[in-house]
Structure 1
Amino acid sequence: MLAIASAVLFFIAFLINAADLSTNSTFSSTNVMLLGLALLALHVAGIGSGWAVRGRRR
């Protein structure tokens, strides 16, 4: 789920950069891209990946 959210943020950052939109410093393409990278790092770390198998039950 976090990987999908990061892909959406990367696409928004690409649109801001490609269209050369003037936004405030909070929503600049670099900041949106960094948010996407943070979500991607959380996904790779295993946070928000869904169900986890904790061990064998008998």
Structure 2
Amino acid sequence: MFAIIAAILFGLALLLQLVGESMGEVITPATLTTAGLLCVALHLAGAATALSGYRRRR
């Protein structure tokens, strides 16, 4: 899930950078890139992974 969010954020950052625009003073291509990198890091760290359903009963 975090990888999909990161891909969307990277796409928006690229689009804004190509157009040369920003969405206010806070949301710039740099902040979207940083948010995308955070989502990639969370994805690689294994955040929000489901482990239920794979347990054995004895």
The answer to whether TM tops 0.5 is yes
Report sequence identity in percent. 33
Which residue is 1:33 aligned to?
A: 33
Instruction: Give the letter for the 2:51 counterpart.
Output: A
Q: For 1:32 and 1:22, locate their aligned partners in 2 and report how far apart those are by CA, in whole Å.
A: 10
Measured on the aligned residues, the alpha-carbon RMSD in Å equals 1.7
TM-score by length of 2: 0.82
Asked whether the 8 Å contact 2:22–2:29 carries over to 1, the reply is no
Gaps of 5+ in 1: none
Please state how far the C-alpha of 1:26 moved relative to its aligned partner: 1.1
SS in 2 for 1:57: coil
Q: Flag as ranges the 4+ runs of structure 1 deviating above 2 A.
A: 22-25, 53-57
SS in 1 for 2:26: helix
Considering Cα pairs closer than 8 Å and 6+ residues apart, tell me whether 1 or 2 has the greater RCO: 1
